[in-house]
Structure 1
């Protein structure tokens, strides 16, 4: 699932390294009304809010059209090492479709509002003895960015196979340019869980849980269109109070 919008990632990279030859050479396609941009990436693991979505190498891709009005639509996808509706299948694919609106309040302050649909290949419905839940999910996200810090909150809109309607994820991220076109990236996130909609498929014992903290470095590889990244992910807990593992994640991301 998208931890933050692809649009926000592209904006951050372009702002913190404006003099890089990489982004001059790999400029997004500009039309009279907006900009097309995209990426293709490989990461050593796909970790989402502390949990493992793919413990093997994951291939991920994104495509976005940002209109000059501030509206944007986009897609993001990733390979998974599971299928939510078939325990015998060790692979799957996540498709995220979103629409967003963002703008600047002043040169230091901006905001982004986003609605996302999460759709899983071979997905459908998970059945229990008395309950059933869709794997497809919907949430809304609000982000407020002040200089190099971004605060965000997202709310799950309907019950899904992995959460309850009303679950809220809160996060803060910090990105800071370093010498030699390195970027310091750090973030922390936690969830406020809605236990009132628990059933046999989803149970909750924690009202709030710290899910993960990340710190890492990224760097553009000059004139290749590729950004390399290395992150340490410190796992927290899930809605049952069970511990997440720690991970080191390496990634290569080609932007176009």
Structure 2
């Protein structure tokens, strides 16, 4: 009888403790956000706005436990002859990150991409990344790219170096592979890359970058939906 009573008391006490911990974590959450305008929304080297400008916004809740959740949105343009695609992309994510030591940090994220209208392009994607001394290496994977039931693998390496105070030069290399490309898009794996500079002025983030890829021949699209030619990308953002 004594042990049973202790167990009955323990359950609500544990639940109460967990609830208090969760409430404390939520109450201590740090909220941040960003609004940005760019002359083209490029995703892994490919335009999502047919080469036109995009307005983007996101909000993030970060907790002391290392978890964070967020949402992000942008206008898109996938229209082609005979196909009237979605106009808005809106994404959600939940992430967990921490530090291995004072030099190395890591993060794991579950992303959900969504699109307006009757589109069935939405899909989940997971990513894992590590950062060290200005470098970031990350791997992204989905087994249902754009609702096709085909896998997509993306590996990227980024490096940012502050060459003078408040000015950084930013490098990016990404490698795209998977059945979603071979079977779905009709071309093999490819690489995308960029180099740019970024700074902050009067509370605004400013960046200018050159983007390119090794796509060529019939795979190179210079206008309309899926545009992937080399371009200069200019972005103005405001964080709050």
TM-score range, shorter chain: 0.7 to 0.9
Unmatched 5+ residue regions in structure 1?
Answer: 1-30, 125-133
Provide TM-score, normalisation by structure 2: 0.78
1:72 to 54, 68, 72: 68
CA RMSD in angstroms, aligned pairs only: 2.6
1:53 to 48, 52, 57: 48
Structure 1 residues 196-249: Cα deviation after superposition (integer angstroms, max 9, x where no partner): 994xxx25442x321x10110111013xx21011010012339x9823310101
Count of aligned positions? 208
1:216 corresponds in structure 2 to 196
Structure 2 CA distance, aligned partners of 1:84 and 1:66? 39
Give the drift of 1:177: 1.2
Aligned to 1:122, what secondary structure does the other structure show? coil
Provide TM-score, normalisation by structure 1: 0.74
Higher share of residues assigned helix = 2
Contact 1:164-1:194 within 8 A present in 2 as well: no
Unmatched 5+ residue regions in structure 2?
Answer: 1-25, 221-227
1:181 corresponds in structure 2 to 166
Structure 2 CA distance, aligned partners of 1:194 and 1:139? 15
Aligned to 1:190, what secondary structure does the other structure show? strand
Structure 1 CA distance, aligned partners of 2:181 and 2:88? 30
Contact 1:59-1:78 within 8 A present in 2 as well: yes
Contact 1:137-1:160 within 8 A present in 2 as well: yes
Q: Larger Cα Rg: Structure 1 or Structure 2? A: 2
Structure 2 CA distance, aligned partners of 1:64 and 1:121? 21
Aligned to 2:48, what secondary structure does the other structure show? strand
Structure 2 CA distance, aligned partners of 1:171 and 1:188? 6
